[in-house]
Amino acid sequence: MTHLVSTGLDALPGPTVVVLGGGFAGITLIQKLAKQPVKVLLIDQNNFHTFQPLLYQVATGSLAPDNIGFPYRRKIAKIPNVAFRKAVVHSVDTQEQHIHTDQGIFAYDYLVVATGSKTNFFGNEALERNSLQLKSIAQALDIRSDFLQEFEDALYLQDDDRRSALNFVIVGGGPTGVEVAGALAEIRKNILAEEYKEVDAETMQITLIEAGPRVLASFSEKSSHVAQDYLRSMGVQLRLGQRVLDYDGEMLTLSTGESLRSRTVIWSAGVMGAAVSGLPANVYTRANRLSVNDFLQVDGVSNVFAVGDVAFVGANGHPMVAPVAIQQAEVLAKNLLLLASNAAPAHPFRYRDQGNLATIGRNKAVVEVGKLRFQGLVAWYLWMAVHLVSLIGFKNRLVVLFNWAMKYFSHKNIIRLIVRPPSHSAARSGKASK
């Protein structure tokens, strides 16, 4: 399609700001520009915002997809200067100030790239083809169906085949990897042991592989070691200082020369910017992120800005986490309003570190805020409170709180439906997720 697509906002005053991506940065930017003298168009390939910090709970059956998803149209319906279009972005033409999508061409005065991040397999095609990843609701459902199907398959298997089916490997010891490993350990104890009586629960192995010397590298060494102790106490096998070299869908090859047999490998070892094409080659920097100045403008490109995971600010960049994205969007909103009034941007971005949080399991978490360190039950309550407050929509907060309470008192994951294709190859290749 080559025609210009109408946004329905043409009659309103002010320049057109097109936002690509409705993650934490995109949603925050829209909220800050609501009812301001600018026309805002949000473009996303999905029609909903995903609360990614709780994706692992969808993957492990504690929450349903709609508990952490929120439709964009419900959010922007009452905002007169904001419109939404569901479309896949193909490229950007910075000369014509056009965005080419599968639904046509959109014009912009100011473009904000907030496309977030995607899984980084570091060029290893075999790992990308055969392992599962956790960056979307569809992929979370793949993982949920995969481990539940493995439980069912184990009833028909013997010895080595059963051990392979029940050997779950998580690669990457960041918050996602740690949280998935802890959740699977609780599932082994509370579901496999009680509901699959024909299977010895001890046959299920959970292995967390981390290339660095410890898990949760962004935390202090003390918090990291606490998390490791929690994981080991739950029966998770830690392989630290080891890298995964290859995986063919059955056999995992490690840098130590060892091999592990597993039908399920969940990759959480890295992310990279989900940058759009069409920008000058020199603006793509480390991990495919876009190099931006202190005012979040893409270096050397007029009227194009980037925020969130896809933006690389300064010499070393910032962590690819929600607080960074939110703070960047807040600063950019102020500068866009200055530009709309023909003034120069006056608000440079300066990140305020709000701390780190990770949960390992029931009553087990680590939280760092400034110089304060929390662990155990207090940290677990803090982790829950922060995530509840951050969820979009009162109903979502209420339902998530209810589900957490049900799981706490019943010791059971609420949702155990196999809803994705049973084929391991389809799930691993992402065919079921697209």
List residues with catalytic annotation. 179
How far, in Å, CA of 115 to CA of 107, rounded?
18
How far, in Å, CA of 197 to CA of 195, rounded?
6
* Angle subtended at Cα 359 by Cα 148 and Cα 183, rounded to the nearest 5 degrees: 15
* Angle subtended at Cα 205 by Cα 202 and Cα 210, rounded to the nearest 5 degrees: 150
**Token duo for residue 5:** 């697509």
Backbone angles phi, psi at 374, to 5 degrees: -125, 150
Tell me which residue of 268, 302, 308 sits closest to 290, measured CA to CA.
308
**Cβ pair 20, 89 in contact under 8 A:** yes
Instruction: Report the largest interatomic distance among the alpha carbons of the chain, rounded to a whole angstrom.
Output: 72
How far, in Å, CA of 434 to CA of 421, rounded?
13
β-bridge partners, 251: 261
Backbone angles phi, psi at 295, to 5 degrees: -95, 10
